[in-house]
Amino acid sequence: MSSEPERAPAQPTVMVENARVRVIEWRFAPGAATGWHVHGHDYVITPVTSQPVDIVDAAGAVSRVEMVAGRSYFRPAGVAHDVINAGEGELVFVETELLEPGQA
């Protein structure tokens, strides 16, 4: 998406990684972005701070959503997007990727 403005990158810190899960803390300054990516695994997001985010899909459509501290959500593998902090403060969330299915 060459028409997108140049954005500062969000800063990931891997907190846990083993054969079953990867837990990453993401920190975004205002306007920072993950960059375009496709999720290879199911995942859960847990916001630590509340901020609006812009989600850019494969067609370039932008959806604004509010991340609310402590309100986790699940997404399946295959989600493709860029996530941009649209707020005025720092955005922090924890992403837990489910690398291997567990026993139900």
Predicted confidence pLDDT, tens digits, the chain (104 residues): 445 568 999 999 999 999 999 999 999 999 999 999 999 999 999 999 999 999 999 999 999 999 999 999 999 999 999 999 999 999 999 999 999 765 55
Question: Are the CB atoms for 23 and 17 separated by under 8 Å?
Answer: yes
For the entire predicted model, the pTM comes to 0.89
- CA-CA distance, 61 to 53, in Å (whole number)? 13
Do 53 and 92 touch, CB atoms closer than 8 A?
no
What is the rounded CA–CA span in Å between residue 1 and residue 36? 9
Instruction: Say how far apart CA 60 and CA 57 lie, in whole Å.
Output: 5
pLDDT digits (tens, 9 = 90+) for 59-88: 999 999 999 999 999 999 999 999 999 999
- Cβ-based neighbour number of residue 82 at 10 Å: 20
Fold observed for domain 11-92: Jelly Rolls (2.60.120)
